[in-house]
A and B are shown apart, each in its own frame.
Chain A
Amino acid sequence: MPSLTLLGQALVSGVLAGGIYGLLALGLSLSWGLLRLVNLAHFALALLGAYLTYQLGTTFHVSPWLAALAIVPVFFLLGCGLHAVFAYFRVTEFTSLLVTFGLTVILESVIQWFWTADYRRYETPYATASLRVGPLFIPTLEMLACLTAAALAFATWGWLRFTYVGKALRASAEDPAIAAAFGVNHRRQAYLLSGVSAAYAGVAGAFIALISTLAPSQIWTWVGVVFAVVIIGGLANPIGALLAGFLIGVSESLTMAVVTPAWAPLVSFSVLIVLLIVRPGRV
């Protein structure tokens, strides 16, 4: 029988891992839900962001927070550029899977070309820092990532719900023709949203650089679980993505603590299947 401390620590670990899942899922959920583009390249952009943070930190001694500030606008423009390509080639929801898969493979090769296939680790003095709450330890970096994910999720939710742009985006996703009849310029807003999604990938990348090991193939590590999070959370639902991240993270972590770590990868898809059975109209 696991001790209460172990269970508590696993819970903390799961919530924090869930924050990272939510952060990664945020941009993917927006582009899938509002632009009808399943952007697999989102994961490659996140890893590219991680490598850039690593490079700026190790070569130019730029703090990761400053690096993230520099990466966000660059990735925003990158996202806009990417959307220009999608728009030019009239990429649809289905073809976006194939196109962005190809882009991901290309980006993986570019990353490998620049940084080699070898492992990279961004060592920082605060990498192992934790806050102590009673018998539990809360790793600082993971906590920051989780708080950032929550802040972005709520800000995005507010943006979509209360601003004209957000309402227009949701209207266009619902019925593009009617939205256009009401004067919604979907094209311009699509660029904005694509840029924002890519910028979120950059933010996630900065945290991945600080928390995780970098290798080009890491791109694929996140794909399955983050897709499950996006679907469980609901498309274009930022807070749903965050909560789904927590659900998956905690489920995985408790499985590791109570049963066996080998079963943890089954959890995300098991939860997804159960939810699809219980709420089939969800997706």
Chain B
Amino acid sequence: MISRVFMACRGLVAGLLVLALTIPAGAAPSGTPIRIGGTLALTGPLAPTALLHKIAGEVYIDELNKANGLLGRPVEWVLLDDQSKPDLTRSLYEKLLTVDKVDLIIGPYATSGILAAMSVAQRYNKVYIHHSFGMPHLAKYEMHFPTAAFGPEPNVTLPTTVFNALATTATPPKTVAIVTSKFPSAQFQSAGAKEVAEKRGLKVVLYLEYEAGNRDWGALAARVKDAKPDFLWVGALGLDGNQMLEAMKKLDYTPPRHFHLFPAPGPMVVAPDGNLALSSTVFEEHAPFLNNPGAARLVPLFRERATKANVPYPHVDTQVAGSFAAWQVLEAAVTATKSLDDKTLGQWIRANRVPTIIGTLRFDGPNNYGDDLFKVKQVQDGKWVVVWPKEFAAPGARLLPP
């Protein structure tokens, strides 16, 4: 009898233990939700990339709410569609703060929208964490905090990293062609690449700017082919780089080396001419990045959600990781200060280093920018791998020459 009671108790304890292990740690959040407002370009030309930020945000909020929320309260993301229009972005942030009366805000996607909403954040003294701003010298607001870890001078540091990487190869380029979209951050960084190249003694044989939404790639391709550069820098967004490569291929020409500033990662990987393409990144799904805080948890969740959402390339890279990092910084600040007061949060963020999925971020440099965390990645065997600096390279990977 005693033995039977003992067995029953043991079963009960084991059952409770299993139950305790399967539910998330911490009590379920309760009380009035903390409302975090923001916009994303859910429609319009920036929508393909903004979709990734939306999924990243949803994954993060769900994870927060499965745990203890923020300060024990559930979190609600009030997300509006800014239609890729900076003017509308500004109006929507005004609405979020004055009509919806959200507790906190988080930035939209892309430089022009972020800059437009920054003025609203400044007017209402709100902490403004954003994830994709490419022109640090324009961000003057003292409580803006960027997780696009470009550093204060990406027009210098990013091209320097790229040219440093190329210099390690057996045949470093001597001539460079730069073709860039006039999208603000792409143009800014590409103009910087021209200066950096010239300072390093490289000959810039072609520098072209084209309007976003370009339709005819044939003439651009013909000019690049005519210039015969050793290295092509494409200051492109989305699929512009793919279109360039394809147009050049139609002219029976492939540049020996080509770098793409902000490419859509999936299509470049599968493109027939995408092999050995170079780009920059702060995160790829391999060591050592997978050891960063949150990576092991967030990467599979993002993959699952993005696959369900029919996203063709459901992997975490620069854009998604930058988005996760923004939420991580916000969570860290609220948790550490136990406050939703913007001034308190702003002071904490500026004074502290925050471990995130893209590495440890600091915000105490010029215009609240910290270190440039960008690395060089390359398409090898159908996937992106970091190849430079060596300490961040994927296991066994190195920059492959053409």
Chain A: residues with CB nearer than 8 A to chain B? 2-3, 5-6, 9-10, 12-14, 16-17, 108-109, 112, 115-121, 123, 127-130, 132, 137, 139, 142, 212-213, 215-217, 221-222, 225, 249, 252-254, 256-257, 260-262, 264-265
Contacts and interface: CB of A to CB of B under 8 A. Distances in A.
B43 A261 contact: no
A214 to B, nearest CB: 9
B218 A139 contact: yes
A217 B84 contact: yes
B48 A264 contact: no
A217 B214 CA distance: 13
Nearest to B207: A260
Contacts of B335: none
A9 B238 contact: no
B267 A121 contact: yes
Given A13-B219, A256-B216, 7 more contacts: A9-B251, A10-B219, A112-B43, A128-B246, A212-B243, A217-B47, A256-B210
Nearest to A221: B213
B44 interface: yes
By DSSP majority rule, is chain A's interface helix, strand, loop, or mixed? Answer: helix
Nearest to A137: B251
Contacts of A225: 215
5 contacts: A13-B219, A120-B312, A132-B252, A215-B48, A257-B222
Contact of A137 (B243, B252, B311): B252
Contacts of B210: 256, 261-262, 264
Contacts of A260: 208-209
A5 B252 CA distance: 14
B35 interface: no
A117 B222 contact: no
Nearest to A136: B251
Given A132-B252, A139-B250, A264 B211 contact: yes
Contacts of A12: 218
A213 B43 contact: no
Nearest to A217: B45
Given A112-B47, A116-B311, A261-B220, A128 B250 contact: yes
Contact of A116 (B51, B250, B252, B264): B51
Contacts of A119: 48, 238-239, 264, 266-267, 312
Enumerate the 4 nearest inter-chain pairs by beta-carbon distance, A residue then B residue, closest first.
A13-B218, A117-B47, A256-B219, A261-B210
B338 interface: no
A140 to B, nearest CB: 8
B46 to A, nearest CB: 8
Contacts of A9: 218-219, 222, 225, 251
B336 interface: no
B208 A264 contact: no
A249 B216 contact: yes
B288 interface: no
B305 interface: no
Given A6-B223, A14-B216, A132-B252, A261 B270 contact: no
A213 B209 contact: no
Contact of B218 (A2, A17, A127): A17
A118 B311 contact: yes
Contacts of B243: 212-213
A76 B311 CA distance: 31
Contacts of A123: 270-272
Contact of B216 (A3, A128, A253): A253
Given A119-B239, A128-B246, A217 B44 contact: yes
B184 to A, nearest CB: 14
Contact of A13 (B84, B222, B311): B222
Interface string B204-234: 0000111101111011101101100000000
B326 to A, nearest CB: 20
A253 B312 contact: no
A244 B214 CA distance: 19
Contact of A2 (B51, B226, B239): B226
Nearest to B273: A128
A14 B219 contact: yes
B121 interface: no
A19 to B, nearest CB: 11
A16 B218 contact: yes
A128 B84 CA distance: 31
B240 to A, nearest CB: 9
Contacts of B246: 127-128
B216 A13 contact: yes
Contacts of B311: 116, 118
A6 B253 CA distance: 13
